[in-house]
A and B are shown apart, each in its own frame.
Chain A
Amino acid sequence: MKIEQIPEELNNKVRLSIHASLFTGEKTFTELKELTGATDGNLSTQLTKLEKYKSISVKKEFIGKKPCTKYNITEKGLANFKDYIKLLENVIKSSELK
Chain B
Amino acid sequence: MNDYDQALEDINLIKKIIYKAQKDFSGISNFFLGVALLNAFFVILKIVSYTLITGKGYDAGATQALISIVRYKNISLMVFYVMLYLYYRTKIKNKMDNFGLALVNIWGIIFIGIGLFALIISNKNIDSVQAVEFVSILMGICITALLIKKEWILIFCVIISGFYMFALTKDITFVVAMNGESRVLETMSSIIVDVMKSLGILLLYMSVRSRKHEDRANTGRTK
Contacts and interface: CB of A to CB of B under 8 A. Distances in A.
Interface in B1-43: 3-4, 6-8, 10-11, 13-14, 17-18, 20-22, 24, 26-27
A16 B40 CA distance: 43
Interface residues of A: mostly helix, strand, loop or mixed? helix
A88 B11 contact: yes
Given A24-B96, A25-B95, A30-B219, A35 B4 contact: no
Interface residues of B: mostly helix, strand, loop or mixed? helix
B220 A30 contact: yes
Contacts of B11: 85, 88-89, 92
B216 interface: yes
Contact of B95 (A16, A17, A24): A24
Given A31-B219, A34-B219, A24 B13 contact: no
Contact of B14 (A3, A20, A27, A91): A20
Interface of B: 3-4, 6-8, 10-11, 13-14, 17-18, 20-22, 24, 26-27, 95-97, 216, 219-220, 222-223
Report, nearest first, the 8 A-B pairs whose CB atoms are least far apart. A95-B4, A91-B7, A20-B17, A24-B21, A88-B7, A34-B219, A20-B14, A3-B3
